[in-house]
Chain A
Amino acid sequence: MSAALRPLLRRRETLLVVLLALFVALGSALSPYFFDAQNFSDLADDLMEKAIMALPLALIIIAGEIDLSVESMLGLSSALLGLSFGLGLPLWAGIPLVLLVGALGGLLNGLLVTWARLPSLVVTLGTLALYRGLAYVVLGPRAVSHWPAAFNAFGFGDVPGTLVPWPLLVFAALAIVFAFVLHRTWIGRQLYATGKSQEAARFAGVRVARLKTMLFVLSGVLAALAGVILTARLASARADNGQGFVLDVVTAVLLGGVNIFGGEGTIAGVVLAVFVIGVLRNALTLADVAPDAQSTAVGALLIVSVAGPNVVGRIRAAWRNREVWT
């Protein structure tokens, strides 16, 4: 192996590309319907809400915090959009309204973490219950359907003349912005610094509290946006929309190589991981594996992706020690 290749092979992104290729091969072997442009278009469409929520979560985890409440904010956003539309509020007013509620929900998370100095794991576990509860309070067990044609077209349809779903376009634009901000600007450098050592970052002049609060607000807004998109895609606003999404979102971020203890990770890794999970689920769906049983594979993938390198490293270290002793 040449010396130039070595760092490339060590990168998480390389592993993810290999996994992606592996799962595409698996999908093709499992079903004749897999390797097909329309299937890839549908597969991407299915992923977009989770993918959009994964972007801000990556930044939050890089900064050393976590946000488990996003799936409930998605549900609350969907329920509020359903309620406001049902009451006759047009969508051009309703959508900004739910995005604003998303921002407020994120602000509450952020203030509890930074101003009240509570652990984000517990805070967002609390708001995971709170926001889902509010979603049920707002809409109850009802479903709101009968949306305007243009709204449905945004959810179901593709960009004219292509097989690119509209939500994929939204995600791609967001991913580019996130990658630029994280990897090319001072904001990104401050995020890594905060995640590596909050104290050191503060002494270096990073306004840690303000930075973290903004991240939670961003996370709330994008979770609300994901709620709007899912409502359009299902043509149905329900309080239980997005229940259980947090697993795939957190898995995507961690599988993408973001360190759970903060300070490390790339947007490219997260985007690749989103598609690795999506392709795996799609291949299993085509092989008639039920969504809940698919979670076994996703959960195992998450564990192996973190434990694998650790175990290999320890075996390698033991091997090296053995050579020293003999």
Chain B
Amino acid sequence: MTGAPARALAVAARLRELGILVALGLVVLAVTLLSPSFLHLDNLGQVLLSVSLVAIAAAGQTIVVLTRNVDLSVGSMVGLVAFVTGDLLKQHALGVPEAVLAGCVLGLGLGAVNGAIVTIGRVPAIVATLGTLNVYRGLDFFVAGGKEVSAYDLPRAYLGIATSAVAGIPVLIVAAAVIAAAVAFVLRSTRPGRALYAIGSNPAAADAVGIPSQRLVFAAFAASGLLCGVAGVLWGSRFGTVNAFAASGLELEVIAAVVVGGVNIFGGSGTVFGAMLGALLLGTIDNALTLLRLSQFWLQAIDGVVILLAVGADATIRGSLQRALRARSGRR
């Protein structure tokens, strides 16, 4: 697609992100009016800290969703990596850098298994990752066997990762920002990145022009696994206490962030920047409920409504864009 339609699509994508920014601005404004302490630097830092882990996993999820697939297993991957990393340190089996590396490699391996099931086994992604969501969580239970790793068992150097800061900014936030920027660069400016969009927007055409779809889809799942590995390592460092339930249900938050951020669930369009904004919007709402002393019970219900609104907005924008394009080509 070239010329006017391509420009119109680019404008629409930017409009979509602008929309989330406006929504985010409105939420921030409303919460600040009701509870001025929201804008305190401490609180804003808290929001970013709690969003950062979701954001790292959401960057990986974006890669997968762009290819017209989905990774439902993220919560279990993060949980399993967090526990195994913590347990390795507890048993003094490895030093901190080695254990961190082992956690990331484990995540990569779990993601590669997902990728292999989808590409070699030809299992639809939603089925494959629903399966591994449970397989990985079950493995977590086998490994943990009812035990938990607590902060007392962990070396200070590991716990320090989450609390340390670079130029005054907590490492978790820096890590999320760097990862998001790197993924955004790959998706936007490299050949494999553009190929991922092509696979998602028209798989048959992508095959026809010689894009190695299977290999790239495999790589997308592996990347999602790797980023979940990173998130898992940081999870253990941030919370200190890890049991077999750690990060369960995280997949819903991650997919919600991606969908709210305007990444098309049928692949082919969306940006990491959007997904980050989506994670930020949901995290801000979460924080606002706490500040306004509203019951946390409302949180899930509000998350559900936000997902429905976001996907509804997507459909509206896309529909009016298509009508506009059709009207223009009709005039010619």
Whether B126 contacts A298 by the Cβ 8 Å rule is: no
A251 to B256, CA, bound (A): 22
Whether A306 contacts B127 by the Cβ 8 Å rule is: yes
Nearest chain-A residue to B125 (Cβ)? Answer: A260
Interface-facing stretch out of A117-125, A152-160, A167-175, A180-188 = A117-125
Whether B311 contacts A123 by the Cβ 8 Å rule is: yes
Query: Within residues 22 to 80 of chain A, which ones have a CB less than 8 A from any CB in chain B?
Result: 66
A323 within 8 A of B: no
> Beyond A295-B137, A306-B123, is A122–B130 a contact (Cβ under 8 Å)?
no
A130 within 8 A of B: yes
A245 within 8 A of B: no
B300 within 8 A of A: yes
B132 within 8 A of A: yes
B34 within 8 A of A: no
> Beyond A136-B300, A306-B123, A307-B122, is A125–B141 a contact (Cβ under 8 Å)?
no
Q: Which of B117, B126, B300 contacts A260 (CB 8 A)?
A: B126
Whether A133 contacts B301 by the Cβ 8 Å rule is: yes
Q: Which of B120, B121, B128, B300 contacts A129 (CB 8 A)?
A: B300
> Beyond A116-B315, A290-B141, A303-B123, is A127–B308 a contact (Cβ under 8 Å)?
yes
A238 within 8 A of B: no
> Beyond A125-B255, A125-B256, A140-B297, is A299–B131 a contact (Cβ under 8 Å)?
yes
Whether B265 contacts A131 by the Cβ 8 Å rule is: no
Give, as a whole number of angstroms, the nearest-CB distance from A122 to chain B: 5
Give, as a whole number of angstroms, the nearest-CB distance from B206 to chain A: 19
Whether A118 contacts B315 by the Cβ 8 Å rule is: yes
A163 within 8 A of B: no
Q: Please, which residues of chain A bring their CB within 8 A of the CB of B300?
A: 129-130, 132-133, 136
Nearest chain-A residue to B305 (Cβ)? Answer: A130
Whether A126 contacts B265 by the Cβ 8 Å rule is: no
Q: Please, which residues of chain B bring their CB within 8 A of the CB of A298?
A: 134
Q: Please, which residues of chain A bring their CB within 8 A of the CB of B312?
A: 112, 116, 118
Q: Please, which residues of chain B bring their CB within 8 A of the CB of A116?
A: 312, 315
Whether A303 contacts B244 by the Cβ 8 Å rule is: no
A197 within 8 A of B: no
A297 to B195, CA, bound (A): 36
Give, as a whole number of angstroms, the nearest-CB distance from B258 to chain A: 10
Give, as a whole number of angstroms, the nearest-CB distance from B83 to chain A: 13
Nearest chain-A residue to B304 (Cβ)? Answer: A130
> Beyond A125-B252, A133-B300, A134-B301, is A292–B123 a contact (Cβ under 8 Å)?
no
Q: Please, which residues of chain B bring their CB within 8 A of the CB of A260?
A: 124, 126-127
How many chain-A residues does the 8 Å CB contact rule pick out?
46
Most buried by A among B121, B126, B304: B304
Whether A247 contacts B252 by the Cβ 8 Å rule is: no
What does the 1/0 interface line of B289-332 toward A look like (CB < 8 Å)? 00000010111111111011001100100000000000000000
Q: Please, which residues of chain A bring their CB within 8 A of the CB of B133?
A: 247, 299
Whether B297 contacts A137 by the Cβ 8 Å rule is: yes
Whether B127 contacts A303 by the Cβ 8 Å rule is: yes
Q: Please, which residues of chain A bring their CB within 8 A of the CB of B252?
A: 125, 128-129
A310 to B121, CA, bound (A): 6
Q: Please, which residues of chain B bring their CB within 8 A of the CB of A123?
A: 308, 311
Nearest chain-B residue to A307 (Cβ)? Answer: B121
A129 to B256, CA, bound (A): 10
> Beyond A133-B297, A293-B142, is A126–B123 a contact (Cβ under 8 Å)?
no
Give, as a whole number of angstroms, the nearest-CB distance from B26 to chain A: 20
Nearest chain-B residue to A66 (Cβ)? Answer: B126
Q: Which of B120, B138, B256, B266 contacts A295 (CB 8 A)?
A: B138
What does the 1/0 interface line of B72-87 toward A look like (CB < 8 Å)? 0000000000000000
What does the 1/0 interface line of A212-230 toward B look like (CB < 8 Å)? 0000000000000000000
Give, as a whole number of angstroms, the nearest-CB distance from A95 to chain B: 24
Give, as a whole number of angstroms, the nearest-CB distance from A78 to chain B: 15
Nearest chain-B residue to A133 (Cβ)? Answer: B301
Give, as a whole number of angstroms, the nearest-CB distance from A27 to chain B: 19
Q: Please, which residues of chain A bring their CB within 8 A of the CB of B298?
A: 133, 137
Q: Please, which residues of chain A bring their CB within 8 A of the CB of B128?
A: 303, 306-307
A254 to B259, CA, bound (A): 25
What does the 1/0 interface line of A297-326 toward B look like (CB < 8 Å)? 111101100110011001000000000000
A131 to B142, CA, bound (A): 32
Give, as a whole number of angstroms, the nearest-CB distance from A140 to chain B: 6
Whether A126 contacts B297 by the Cβ 8 Å rule is: no
Query: Within residues 95 to 153 of chain A, which ones have a CB less than 8 A from any CB in chain B?
Result: 112, 116-119, 121-123, 125-134, 136-137, 140
A302 to B252, CA, bound (A): 21
A2 within 8 A of B: no
Query: Within residues 105 to 158 of chain B, which ones have a CB less than 8 A from any CB in chain A?
Result: 117, 120-124, 126-128, 130-135, 137-139, 141-142, 146
A285 within 8 A of B: no
Most buried by B among A133, A136, A260: A133
A252 within 8 A of B: no
Whether B138 contacts A292 by the Cβ 8 Å rule is: yes
- Given A118-B311, A140-B297, A296-B137; 5 other pairs, CB 8 A cutoff: A112-B312, A129-B301, A254-B127, A296-B135, A303-B117
Q: What are 7 inter-chain pairs, A to B, with CB distance below 8 A?
A: A122-B307, A129-B304, A129-B307, A140-B295, A296-B135, A299-B130, A302-B134
**Which A-B residue pairs are the 5 nearest by beta carbons?**
A133-B301, A296-B138, A130-B304, A307-B121, A299-B134
The residues of B with any CB-CB pair to A shorter than 8 Å are: 70, 117, 120-124, 126-128, 130-135, 137-139, 141-142, 146, 244, 252, 255-256, 259, 265-266, 295, 297-305, 307-308, 311-312, 315
